Amino acid sequence: MSAVRAVDALRTTCPRDCYDSCGVLVLRRGGRIAAVRGDPAHPVSRGHLCGKCSMAYNHEWLDPARRLTRPLKRVGPKGAGRFEPTSWEQAIEEIATRLTGIVERHGAAAILNAHYTGTISLLAGLAPMRFFHRLGATEVTPDTICNMAGHVALRLLYGTSLDGFDPRAAREAACILVWGANPHASAPHAHEHWLPEAPGRVIVIDPVRTPTAARADVHVQPFPGSDAALAFALLAVMHRDGLLDRAFIAQHVTGFEELEPALAGADLASLAALTRVPVALIERVAHRYAPGPSLLWLGQGLQRQRTGGNVIRACGLLPALTGNLGRPGAGVLYLNGNLAARGIDEAYLTAPHLAPAPLPSVSHMDLAAALSDPGRSRALFVWNMNPLASAPRQRELKRALEREDLFTVVLELFATDTTTLADYVLPAASFLEFDDLVVPYFHMALSAQVRAAAPPGEALPNLEIFRRLARALGFTEPELAESDARILATLLARSGLGETFDSLAAQGTVWIPRDGARVQFAEARYPTPSGRIEVASAQAEAAGLPRVPQCWADAPPGAGLLRLLSPADAWLLNTTFGNVERLERRLGAASIGLHPDDAAERGLAEGAAARVENACGALTLAVRITTEVPRGVALVHKGRWLSGAPDGANVNVLNPGEKSDMGESTAVHGIEVRVRAATC
C-alpha cells in the first residue's frame, strides 16, 4: 500500500506541570501526526493520557488554525487585540533595538522576566535562562506563584526540598499520608493506579472531600490554614502514647528538646476545636502513621496559606520524629525536582556565570505593583506563563499591562489573555515539535521529549527564539549560540546514565536507579548546616522566623466571610487548555462550590448567580451546592480564561497577592470573600 497509509509510532513525554510525566505514543501517518496517545509500555500512563491532554493534544494543539504560527506585532492601542504578522527578522531586530534602548536608559533591571512551568522540559523551560542571565534582567521569582514557602520550610528542616521519597517505595509502605495534595486532579495516574495499588492504608488530609479523599481509607478534614496545629496534635498524641522514635531522634535530629515542651503541654481538646478535627480521629491517624513504614506526601496546595511555611515545617516533623526516614517504604515528598539526582548539570544548562551580578528579583505577589511603576519596569518578557489569568491582583495587573510605555514580548503557542496585551507575540513550538529532556518531579526518572512533527507555520522552540535575540543584541558568548543537539548531547554525556539522546528516545524513559526504589536519606546525610534534621534552626532565627515550628492555625474568616480555595481543576492544567472547546463544553460556566448551610444562609439555590467579592475585586459565579466543602469554605477551581467570562475576569481578580510567611510566596488558599446573590 502507499506510504501515506504507513503508520509509525514514536515515543515521547508529556512535559506539562503535572506529577505524572506520562509516556506518550505519537502515531504518524505519512509523516503527519495522526494521534497522540498514552504509551502502553510506560508504567505511569499505561496507554492512556489524562482526559484533558487527550482532547487538547489531538485537536487544538495539532490545529494550525488555532495555534500561533507567525510573529505578531501590535497595531493600535494596547489591549485592543489588533496585531499584524511580521517576519522573524523584523520582529527580532525591533525587539533587540527596543531592549538596547531600555538597557541604555534605564538599566537591564527594568526588564522583567516572567516565566514558569508552561512546559517543564529542560531546553524550553530552563535553558532560556542563559539569555536572561547574560541580559541581567529582573527575575520574577518563579516559585513564588506556586510553592516557594514549602521549599524554604523544608530546606530549613531537612536541608533539601527536592529529594523526596521514590514513589516506587509505596510497595513497602504500611501507610501513605497525602497531606494537602489532590492527585485526582493534579496527578491523575497516581490517583488511578499508584494509590489504589499501594498495599498500605491511605490517609488524606484535605479540607475538601476531593475524589482522592473520598477514595481513601481515612479522610481528615481540617479547616484550611490549621494544619500546623493538626501536626502538633498528631505529634502530641504520639508523644503521649510513646510512638515517637527516641533512638532516631537522638541520632539524627537536632533541637527536639526545644519542641518537646509544646508536645507535652498540648491541649488536645483545644487543638481539635482549632482544626475542627475530632480528637478520636487525630488519635487514629497518629497510631496509623507513626509505626510505619509510612510515606508522607506534602502537597503544594497545603502551603498556599498565610503561614504556609510554618505549616510545612510542622507537618515535616512527622517523619523526623517517628523515624519514618532512611528505611524502605518510609519517607517524605514535596517535589522530586533535584536535577543533579538525574545527573543533569544545571549550571551548564542555565549558565548563571553569564550574569553580570546576581539577578535582581521580585515576587509574583509584587508583579502587578512592579509593572504599574515606570520607575521599576520598562519591558516585560513572558514565556511558559499566562500571568494575566494566573497571577494575583488581576485588575491592577491588567491596568499595568495596558501601559503604552511598557514593552511586552510574549512567547506562546496560543493567543491567550496575556498575549492580547503584548507588543510582540512570538509563536512557540509545542513539545511535539522539538527534541528535549523531561525531568519528572514526582517519579525518579529522566525522559525524552522527541520531535514528532514540524512546528506549524513559522513557530520556533523557545530556545531558538532566545538564540536569535542574543545574536541580534550582539551577545557573543558561545553558550548563547549552542545548538539544541549539542546541549542535549552534553547533558546526557555528563549525566553518567550511559544514554545518548537516540538511545533514551528509543526507551522513552529511564528509571533512576533502574533497578527499583532508592531509600530516601539511606545514608542519613541531611544537607543542613549541622548535617542533622534541624527541628530548631539557627538559620530560621537569623531570617527572622521562629527557631522551631509553631503550633499555629490561621484565624478563621471574619463574620459573614468564607475562606476561598482555588486548587487544580481536573480538566484544566493551570490555564493551559482553557481554550480547548471540548473541555469548555464539559466544564460549563465557572462555579463556586458552597456548603448547603452556607448557601441557604445566603438564600442561594443551586445554579443561582452569586456575587463573590472582597477588597481586591468581584466575580459572578454559578452556585454549586456541595457537601465536598465544610462550612465556611468556598471552592472555585483555578484555570479559567478571562476572555469569554461574563466579568472578563477569573478567580484571581479576588486574589490580593498576600504573601505567606516564607519565601515571599503565594497565600492564594488564604483568600476571604463575601458571597451573596447577584442582583441583575
Ligand X SMILES: Nc1nc2c(c(=O)[nH]1)N[C@H]1C(S)=C(S)[C@@H](COP(=O)(O)OP(=O)(O)OC[C@H]3O[C@@H](n4cnc5c(=O)[nH]c(N)nc54)[C@H](O)[C@@H]3O)O[C@H]1N2
Contact footprint for ligand X (CB under 6 A): 17-18, 116-119, 124, 145-147, 179-182, 185-186, 205-208, 210, 222, 224-225, 227, 299-302, 305, 383-387, 389-390, 411-414, 416, 428, 462, 565-570, 572-576, 638-639, 651-652, 655, 668-669
Nearest to 10 by CA among 577, 449, 526: 449
Considering CB distances under 5 to 8 angstroms, the limit depending on partner class, which of Mo ion, ligand SF4, ligand X, none binds residue 22? ligand SF4
The single-letter code of the amino acid at 497 is L
| CB of 17 or CB of 479, closer to Mo ion | 17
CB burial of residue 93 (10 Å; 0-12, 13-18, 19+): middle
Residue 48 grid coordinates: 492512556
Count helices and strands in the chain by DSSP H and E runs: 26, 27
> In this chain, which stretch among 144-152, 275-283, 346-354, 454-462 interacts with Mo ion, using CB under 5 A?
144-152
Find the shortest distance in angstroms from Cβ 232 to Mo ion: 27
DSSP state of 515: T
Neighbours of 591 (CB within 10 A): 18
| CB of 45 or CB of 408, closer to ligand SF4 | 45
The single-letter code of the amino acid at 526 is Y
DSSP state of 519: P
581 within 8 A of 614, measured Cβ to Cβ: no
What is the enclosing helix (H) or strand (E) of 25?
A: strand 23-29
Considering CB distances under 5 to 8 angstroms, the limit depending on partner class, which of ligand SF4, Mo ion, ligand X, none binds residue 324? none
CA distances from 647 to 272, 482, 532, 591, 676 (A): 40, 46, 52, 13, 16
Neighbours of 403 (CB within 10 A): 18
Considering CB distances under 5 to 8 angstroms, the limit depending on partner class, which of Mo ion, ligand SF4, ligand X, none binds residue 652? ligand X
> In this chain, which stretch among 140-148, 182-190, 244-252, 327-335 interacts with Mo ion, using CB under 5 A?
140-148
Find the shortest distance in angstroms from Cβ 439 to ligand SF4: 13
CB burial of residue 543 (10 Å; 0-12, 13-18, 19+): exposed
| CB of 185 or CB of 645, closer to ligand X | 185
Residue 660 grid coordinates: 505567606
| CB of 67 or CB of 443, closer to ligand SF4 | 443
Pairing of the two strands 23-29 and 7-13: antiparallel
| CB of 568 or CB of 678, closer to ligand SF4 | 568
Find the shortest distance in angstroms from Cβ 314 to ligand X: 12
| CB of 144 or CB of 186, closer to ligand SF4 | 186
Considering CB distances under 5 to 8 angstroms, the limit depending on partner class, which of Mo ion, ligand SF4, ligand X, none binds residue 20? ligand SF4
Find the shortest distance in angstroms from Cβ 188 to ligand SF4: 5
Find the shortest distance in angstroms from Cβ 300 to Mo ion: 6
SS3 of residue 485 by DSSP: helix
Does residue 572 touch Mo ion according to CB under 5 A? no
Does residue 302 touch Mo ion according to CB under 5 A? no
565 within 8 A of 633, measured Cβ to Cβ: yes
- Secondary structure of 466-482 in HEC code, one letter for each residue: HHHHHHHCCCCCHHHCC
Find the shortest distance in angstroms from Cβ 504 to ligand SF4: 18
Residue 155 grid coordinates: 530546606
| CB of 16 or CB of 67, closer to ligand SF4 | 16
450 within 8 A of 11, measured Cβ to Cβ: yes
| CB of 322 or CB of 655, closer to ligand X | 655
Considering CB distances under 5 to 8 angstroms, the limit depending on partner class, which of Mo ion, ligand SF4, ligand X, none binds residue 411? ligand X
Considering CB distances under 5 to 8 angstroms, the limit depending on partner class, which of Mo ion, ligand SF4, ligand X, none binds residue 12? none
Find the shortest distance in angstroms from Cβ 564 to ligand X: 8
Considering CB distances under 5 to 8 angstroms, the limit depending on partner class, which of ligand X, ligand SF4, Mo ion, none binds residue 227? ligand X
Closest residue to Mo ion using C-beta atoms: 146
CA distances from 372 to 369, 384, 498 (A): 5, 22, 50
CA distances from 175 to 163, 198, 205, 266 (A): 20, 9, 13, 25
Does residue 146 touch Mo ion according to CB under 5 A? yes
Neighbours of 503 (CB within 10 A): 13
Residues that bind ligand SF4 (CB under 6 A): 14, 16, 18, 20-22, 45, 49-50, 53, 188-189, 573
| CB of 416 or CB of 660, closer to ligand X | 416
DSSP string across 232-249? HHHHHHHHHTT-S-HHHH
Q: Tell me how many residues contact Mo ion (CB under 5 A).
A: 1
